[in-house]
Amino acid sequence: MQKNIDKINVGILTFHYAHNFGAALQAYAMKMFLQSNGYMTEIINYQNKKLCKRYQENLPFSFATRRRDWLAPWRWPNLIKSNNWRNHTNKDWQKQYTRFKEFQNCYLVDKEKQAISKDKICALSFDAIVYGSDQIWDTGITGKNETVYWGNHVNDRSRKIAYGASIYTTKLDCIEKKKVIKYLSSFYALAVREQALAKQIENILNRTVETVVDPTLLIPCEYYLKIINVTKIDKPYVLVYTVSDSIELLDAVQKLGLPIRWLHYYKSINLKSDDVEDIADAGPIEFLELIYGAEYVITNSFHGTVFSILFRKKFCAVYDKNIRIENLLEVAHMKEAHIKSMKDINTDRMVVSSNYNLEKLEKHVNISKNYLLNSLAM
């Protein structure tokens, strides 16, 4: 007998607690998509210890200068020379930390519930668990002993479904291949982020593995607009959001002659300029607001590109090589948004998604939606 959708209880296992704009917003999008389709949905508040160490409240250092770097004396000269640790201040870090925690408690998990341990997950009662998206199978991030994200915790009653899971490698090593065989064989449905990974798992398991879009593309803009302040900006500005900072990029952007808001992933340089507003304390809400309010967006971030497309911003993606952005722009027929050299940045090179035929992207989104909904049909 088929279950009513509103009686199906779905759990989500992902990096919802990561202080990363993309990680937080893809978790939000997945939860909203499932709820909008009638499923009882809960993000399982499991937190990998290794990943959690990256996001500590009183840690005033960037990824490049985490505590483990300071515990290695041979790294001290380079750290002091780079001076990176001084740029992302304790005040910035704590404000950003608070904003991420507020977003998590408000939109992702029940703030009254404590994070759940690995041992207690198997006692949870879900009809299905969606694993992903994000690099949940990457042992470099989670540690080689992590098996929760591989489904090694669930009772047989829970259907295991992978959505947009990833490993940050172009080729699986022996340990990863063994994990694929040991754990992923029991999954009801498998969908990953990259085509290359899908082919490798298909060859190992001799079964179909789908590729799907990022969860942030599964829901309409309204779901993002309702959680941000959309008041009109009086003074146009250029938003720069890059995974790594660059003085060369600053010089190129300043030639546009517009006020600049520079959103740092992690602040590694001080941009001492009257026309630049440094922003190093943003949370997911502020990230969305900054993109939505911008006249132009310059980015080398995948999710910076995604939300520039969704919010119909004039933008360009400045990078040498980035497979995820390349694939997205190709599917969206927006290859012109790619600028390889910083010296080529100008407003005439900016593109806006409303001028393009997004039919191919919409088709891929619909295929991804159908994969997930069909996998959950009981």
Helix (H, G, I), strand (E, B) or coil at 235: coil
**105: in domain:** yes
Is 208 in the same domain as 245?
A: no
Q: What is the pLDDT of residue 65?
A: 46
Distance CA 260, CA 215 (A): 29
Residue 91 lies in a domain: no
pTM to 2 decimals? 0.91
Residue 120: inside a domain, yes or no? Answer: yes
CB neighbours of 314 closer than 8 A, spacing ≥ 6? 295, 296, 297, 347, 350, 351, 352
Q: What is the pLDDT of residue 338?
A: 96
**pLDDT at res. 85:** 46
**Among candidate residues 130, 173, 141, 151, the one with its CA nearest the CA of residue 372:** 130
Residues 245 and 349 placed together within one structural domain of the fold: yes
Q: How many independent structural domains does the chain possess?
A: 2
d(CA 327, CA 322): 9
182 and 266 inside one domain:
no
Residues 214 and 264 placed together within one structural domain of the fold: no
Instruction: Report residue 9 as tokens.
Output: 């209880």
Q: Which residue, 18, 22, 25, 88, is CA-closest to 53?
A: 18
186 with 303, same domain: the answer is no
**Per-residue confidence (pLDDT) for residue 69, from 0 to 100:** 53
CATH number for 293 = 3.40.50.2000
Residue 244 sits in the same domain as residue 312: yes
Domain hosting 265: range is 222-357
253, two tokens: 């952007």
Do residues 114 and 150 share a domain? yes
User: Does 268 reside within a domain?
Assistant: yes
Which pLDDT score is estimated for 207? 96
Whether residue 59 lies inside any domain: the answer is: no
231, 341: one domain: yes
One-character DSSP codes across 34-52? HHHTT-EEEE--B--HHHH
The four Cα atoms 150, 153, 156, 159 give a dihedral, to 10 degrees, of -40
Instruction: Provide the pLDDT for residue 89.
Output: 61
- pLDDT value, residue 144: 86
Neighbouring-strand partners of residue 116:
46
Average pLDDT for consecutive 10-residue bins of the chain (378 residues)? 76 95 97 97 94 67 48 54 52 88 95 83 89 93 91 84 89 88 96 94 96 97 95 86 84 91 77 81 96 96 97 95 92 94 91 93 97 95
Task: Based on the fold, state whether residues 44 and 187 are members of the same structural domain.
Answer: yes
Q: Are residues 368 and 234 in the same domain?
A: no
| Same-domain pairing of 154 and 106 | yes
pLDDT of residue 175: 84
Confirm whether 133 is domain-assigned. Answer: yes
Q: With respect to residue 93, please indicate whether it lies within any of the assigned structural domains.
A: no
Total number of residues shown for the chain: 378
**262 and 336 together in one domain:** yes
Instruction: Give pLDDT, residue 2.
Output: 60
| Predicted pLDDT at 281 | 92
Sheet strands (E) in 37-151: 40-43, 128-131
Residue 138's nearest CA partner among 51, 77, 239 is 51
- Which pLDDT tens digit goes with each residue over 190-220? 999 999 999 999 999 999 999 999 999 999 9
| Domain-embedded: residue 94 | no
